[in-house]
Amino acid sequence: MSGAFQPFSTTDDQGRLVGFDADIATELARRLDRPAELVQVDWAGIQAALQLGKVDLICGSMAITDERQETMQFSLPYYVSGAQVFARRGTASLDGARLGVTEDSTYATYVHEHPADFPGVEILRYGSEAEIIAALGTDKVDAFVSDRIVGGFYIHKAGTDDIEAQGDLLYREACGIAARKSDTALVEAVNRALLDMIQDGTYAQIYRRWVGSPPALDVLLSSWSDHVGLLPQARPAADAAPEKAAPQFADRVGQMLPLLVEGAGWTLLLSLLTALLSLVTGTFIGLLSISRRAALARLAQLYVWLVRGTPLLVQLFIAYFAVATFFNRLFGAEVMGPFGAALFALVANTTAYNAETVRGGILAVDDGQWDAAAALGMSRGLTLRRIILPQALRAALPSFGNNLVVLVKDTSLVGAITLIELSYAARNVVFQTGQALLPFLLAAAFYVVIIGTLSLAVSRLERRTDGDSP
């Protein structure tokens, strides 16, 4: 479970997973005579965790869909809820609204597949309901779709009571416990245990504790009749399977490529823009940090210290939720979107590292160069510009190259603020296809090509500026 879907799964003040899903899972394990080992997995990686054997069951409020059933096997529904639009009170139409959904949710799929019901809507994907509420509070989104129970819970918790459910349920959905396709016996056992829990009243007890009202058992049980297909059956012999697998490989790669290429484009664009901008700002801060004006130097050093002392992910969230919000409110328009915020955070971050590189490069230049220039009547500024910096930057080239490689890899974090770069695109492909490994291998190949090309360019430049050494 994700631990980010209250009241179904969350963590207590000691970091333990608690909630409806957690109690159901613990109870199931007890009845299946297995140790209950609850694992918190980010929603984005939860299917991969199952496929790769990191977990055996997903008891994480996962709605049963045809698509998911292609790669996983579901138990009978263990609760029934529905998708609901939430927006500010008095919202007449969603036309032109920015709509938040959790990535890889049935809500995201539904909105995507029903464009007619959501005209002019821009869809933004977030990692969890909590981030959507934060985005709503900072004007990043106007409305969101989530589970009826969960959405109401978060709104109440955040105290944003001017947000309310809009209209009827978009659709009803049933959540099941997911297992790997090969674990048929496990799913059978889970179904039996679920039925037991319902019959002896444990289920109702758990439901009431977390949701606050008694479960509509008639709705739940009647949903079972819609899902008789979930009951394990004698499967046809797998004679057709191997034949299908082989020719599919090239197709599968071909299917994944468009999304990955688009993601790689964002990665490359962000990397190059950041590299260029931070070269200028980094040199500037680096020069300030060795300035003879002590106050300026200390200010520059403080900047470097602060930026290097905080993780990039935190800087991204600050850029997105604070800096971008500030500017957007200041200008009354969205002047700084996810891309702007990502660029801001990456430039601010890389600037600090480049500033240190520049400072180191300048200190590495022989003091005699200053003497020689002074003896020729050159001023300090002229000496810095014409004599010291060219040699310092040349000496710093390998270190700049290193910063560039780190930067390209760091862009993989900007998915956290809804920008779908290469790594995020690979995760999306994993969700779509249920293939856990291939998209990441392809993404790795893209990274190798991007970083390899950039490294090559830097070492070319190093050799070019080496001049005609004997």
For residues 33 and 468, which CB has a smaller minimum distance to other proteins in the complex? 468
In angstroms, rounded to a whole number, what is the distance separating the alpha carbons of residues 242 and 249? 12
**Of 386, 452, 453, 456, which one interacts with other proteins (CB under 8 A)?**
386
Task: State how far Cα 94 lies from the chain centre.
Answer: 25
In angstroms, rounded to a whole number, what is the distance separating the alpha carbons of residues 266 and 272? 10
For residues 394 and 409, which CB has a smaller minimum distance to other proteins in the complex? 394
- Shortest CB 368 distance to other proteins, Å: 4
Binding window for other proteins (CB under 8 A); candidates: 127-135, 184-192, 318-326, 364-372: 364-372
Token pair in block for residue 195:
């039925």
- Shortest CB 388 distance to other proteins, Å: 10
Pattern 389-408, binding to other proteins, x per CB under 8 A? -xx--x--------------
Main-chain dihedrals φ then ψ at residue 193, nearest 5 degrees: -65, -40
Helix, strand, coil content of the chain in percent (nearest 5): 65, 15, 25
Binding window for other proteins (CB under 8 A); candidates: 206-214, 318-326, 370-378, 444-452: 370-378
**Of 335, 363, 374, 457, which one interacts with other proteins (CB under 8 A)?**
374
**Of 382, 441, 448, 449, which one interacts with other proteins (CB under 8 A)?**
382
Which H helix or E strand runs over 77?
none
Burial class (CB in 10 A: 0-12, 13-18, 19+), 49: middle
Contact (CB, 8 A) for 347 and 277: yes
**Of 199, 213, 233, 469, which one interacts with other proteins (CB under 8 A)?**
469
Q: Is 379 in the site for other proteins (CB under 8 A)?
A: yes
Binding residues for other proteins, total number by CB under 8 A? 23
Helix locations, 386-437, DSSP H: 389-410, 422-433
- Shortest CB 432 distance to other proteins, Å: 53
**Of 236, 333, 368, 463, which one interacts with other proteins (CB under 8 A)?**
368
**Of 169, 372, 441, 449, which one interacts with other proteins (CB under 8 A)?**
372
Residue type, 81: S
Q: Do the strands 10-11 and 122-126 form a parallel or antiparallel pair, or are they unpaired?
A: unpaired
**Of 371, 444, 449, 456, which one interacts with other proteins (CB under 8 A)?**
371
Burial class (CB in 10 A: 0-12, 13-18, 19+), 221: middle
Helix (H/G/I), strand (E/B), else coil: 8 = coil
For residues 273 and 378, which CB has a smaller minimum distance to other proteins in the complex? 378
Q: Is 369 in the site for other proteins (CB under 8 A)?
A: yes
Q: Is 162 in the site for other proteins (CB under 8 A)?
A: no
Q: Is 376 in the site for other proteins (CB under 8 A)?
A: yes
Interface residues toward other proteins, by CB under 8 A: 366, 368-369, 371-379, 382, 386-387, 390-391, 394, 465, 467-470
